[in-house]
Amino acid sequence: MNSYSALRTVLTLCLTCLLASCYYVQATRGQIEVLSKREPIDEILESPDTQAELRRRLSLVQEARQFSIDELSLPDNRSYRAYSDLERDFVVWNVFAAPEFSLDAREWCYPIVGCVSYRGYFSEEAAKREAEKLRQKGFDVAVGGVPAYSTLGNFNDPVLNTMMRWDDVKLVSTLFHELAHQVLYIKDDTAFNESFATAVEEIGIERWLAARGKPGDMDGYRAGKALHRRLVGLVNAAKDDLADYYARNIDADTMRELKSARLELLASDVRAELRAAGRGENHWLTIELNNARLLPMALYDRKVPAFLALYADCESDLGCLYEEAAQISKLDRQERDARLVELAARQRGSGDG
């Protein structure tokens, strides 16, 4: 990173810190670390010291990045043209929180991105401290490590070593997901933003695998998505039951018993699905379940069927999808949600959702 870029980064993030709170001090330091460790991928590939597997993965990134421009109409900019080795397993740790008897996510609001349903920390210990504070206030909490995130095009995001733990398909699909955030992102609607990016990711990886003639990878990807949809269904069914419990006029101890039993049933159902799919049972939906732990899946997947229906309406034209999604994003919240519900119902009715 040249001196001008570094100065601009520091000034931008420090201004954000002044506008908000000292929480942004750690965000500033963390973002500067990510950006300062960038090395151009071209230079890494040219270096004789680069390990063979890293060379292969970064070459794959370059291919996928060009594909994202040529075939998916995703932004042609400097994002994901460099690599940062942070020497840790995750780039940030997200904290999710919800009241003990509610599925409404605790939200945090920021000057640039608006309000979101999680709070990110570049330190696992800092995330755990925040989670403990929320727990002391009576919230259900969950902390999860995140291997990748997007600055929405405000900075030239690098590929991270934390992303290299994934297989090739997951690595490429994540690039498509994060770049989709640069196409469309609206304030104060995490579910809209993440579902849009997930839809673009799914469309993009199917096109990528088809173009590369990898039917085996395609079958594996589709099997993974089918399992994921089944798990989403289990979560949604549990959430419906929990919402019913929480709406009842019953004492707290009885409510806790109902909640605990339903979450134990969800964990059991998830384990059964994983066994049937030949997967290991070590899954985040089977460990210390609470309201907060159910939030991420809903945020990333709830409105995906609506965007897939929009894609079908556009006759598989991604440019059209982006334009139509942008038009929906301009509606007020109530109208926007109603339109997406209508689209999702049509997608489910077609048997494709």
* 105 domain residue, yes or no: no
DSSP state of 293: G
Q: How confident is the model at residue 221 (pLDDT cuts 50, 70, 90)?
A: confident
Mean pLDDT, to the nearest integer, of 337-349?
Answer: 86
Q: Can you give the pTM of this predicted structure?
A: 0.84
* 68 domain residue, yes or no: no
Q: Do 161 and 84 meet the contact criterion of CB atoms below 8 Å apart?
A: yes
Which amino acid is residue 15, in one-letter code? L
Q: How confident is the model at residue 9 (pLDDT cuts 50, 70, 90)?
A: very low
Q: How confident is the model at residue 55 (pLDDT cuts 50, 70, 90)?
A: very high
Q: How confident is the model at residue 49 (pLDDT cuts 50, 70, 90)?
A: very high
Residues pairing with 59 in the sheet: none
DSSP annotation string for 103-172: -PPP-EEETTTEEES-EEESSHHHHHHHHHHHHHTTEEEEEEEES----TTSS-PPEEGGGGGS-HHHHH
* 206 domain residue, yes or no: no
Domain count, the chain: 2
Q: Is the dihedral of CA 185, 293, 243, 248 positive or negative?
A: negative
* 209 domain residue, yes or no: no
Between the alpha carbon of residue 38 and those of residues 14, 154, 166, 179, the distances in Å are 20, 15, 20, 18
User: What is the CB neighbour count within 10 angstroms for residue 311?
Assistant: 22
Mean pLDDT, to the nearest integer, of 85-111?
Answer: 94
* 266 domain residue, yes or no: yes
Q: Tell me the two tokens of residue 269.
A: 């159902």
Q: Tell me the two tokens of residue 148.
A: 């990748």
In the chain, how long is the greatest CA-to-CA distance? 69
Host domain of residue 11: 1-32
Q: Do 113 and 194 meet the contact criterion of CB atoms below 8 Å apart?
A: no
* 180 domain residue, yes or no: no
pLDDT tens per residue across span 112-129: 678 888 999 999 999 999
CA atoms of 349 and 234, how far apart (whole Å): 19
* 39 domain residue, yes or no: no
List phi, psi (to 5°) of 96. Answer: -110, 145
pLDDT exceeds cutoff 50 at 37? yes
Residues pairing with 94 in the sheet: 120, 144
* 74 domain residue, yes or no: no
